[in-house]
Amino acid sequence: VSKSMGFIGLGAMGMWMASHLAEKLPQSTKLYVFDIVPALVDGICLKYPDTIIQATSPKEVIDQSEILITMLPEGKHVKAVYLGENGVLTGDVEGKLLIDCSTIDTASFLEVKDALSKKTSTAHLYDAPVSGGVIGAKKGSISFFLGCAEEDTKDMDQITTILSLMGSKIIPCGGPSLGLAAKLSNNYLSGIIAIACSEAMDMGMRSGLDPRVLAKVYAAGTAQNTICDRFCPVPGVYPEAPSSHGYQDGFKVQLMKKDFSLALDMARRVGSNNVLGDAGLKTYEGASEDERCKDLDSRVVFRFLEGNEN
């Protein structure tokens, strides 16, 4: 591990990821951090005063760091951090390893990567979006979908060492931006399954079935999957699912709407025929704006659909 690292974006996910680095990096390694919300920077600096150093801009972070991790909401924020005033690319990037863990559109990522390669051939930027949510980030058990092939990068060992400090699985996806394409494909599928499971359970329950019996049937039958089981949208089926705790502490429905919309844009761009996509997006848009659902775990689509019966 290098002597100095940087982390930009200390939100719901980034705060835990940076905390793991602060706790697990060798004591001699310093971690420079930046976020536009000063209270987030102050908070983590107070918690790890011997390891974490406050920076005042992305430029200052990269000037001080050999490896940089970014964890930001959307493409526009990633572009602002890398390409904006006092951004990463205005600093000393020579020979550095940059890893963006944000879930964003592939075009924004490739624009930043292209700008970096125009500036230097010695620095490398990888997409490595994550899955596992805030709970996974806190536990250090998130998965990374990495935008490179296992065999074609000399950075693989270093990337594996760093990401392993924050998560438990790293899946190389083949090439630049393919980590993002994989993440969007995954979230499209899991978003569709949550809606399908909500509908299937609702019709079963209205026919007189206990949802716990239905869950057992799916688990024993061909419909077996994690969303109907560990993340069951119907409350009371799986005790640890967010639905059984008022849909708290999960993957916010607004984030699912964002990822779903990015996935559909990608589908259109590559000419994929996604017949369920528009209905899915409409459902997540509706739930994101519904007072009974917004800010809650995305599996709250069950409540949204149940409340909007024909």
Which residues contact ligand NAD by CB under 6 A? 8-14, 34-37, 40, 71-73, 77, 80-81, 102-103, 130-131, 133-134, 251, 255
Least distance CB 74 / ligand NAD (angstroms):
6
For ligand NAD, which is the closer residue by CB, 70 or 198?
A: 70
**Region of 174 on the Ramachandran plot (φ > 0 left; ψ -120 to 50 alpha; else beta):** left
Pairing of strands 124-127, 97-100: parallel
Q: Which of 59, 183, 257, 258 is catalytic?
A: 183
Q: What is the DSSP letter of 242?
A: G
Least distance CB 53 / ligand NAD (angstroms):
16
Q: Which amino acid is at 281?
A: L
Least distance CB 57 / ligand NAD (angstroms):
9
User: Which token pair is 158?
Assistant: 């270093």
Give the Cα separation of 42 and 47 in Å (integer). 9
Least distance CB 141 / ligand NAD (angstroms):
12
For ligand NAD, which is the closer residue by CB, 131 or 198?
A: 131
For ligand NAD, which is the closer residue by CB, 35 or 202?
A: 35
C-alpha distances in angstroms, 274 versus 130, 190, 230, 263, 278?
A: 23, 14, 26, 10, 8
Question: In the block, which residue shows the tokens 């659902």?
Answer: 293
For ligand NAD, which is the closer residue by CB, 215 or 301?
A: 301
Q: Is 47 a catalytic residue?
A: no
Active centre residues (catalytic): 183
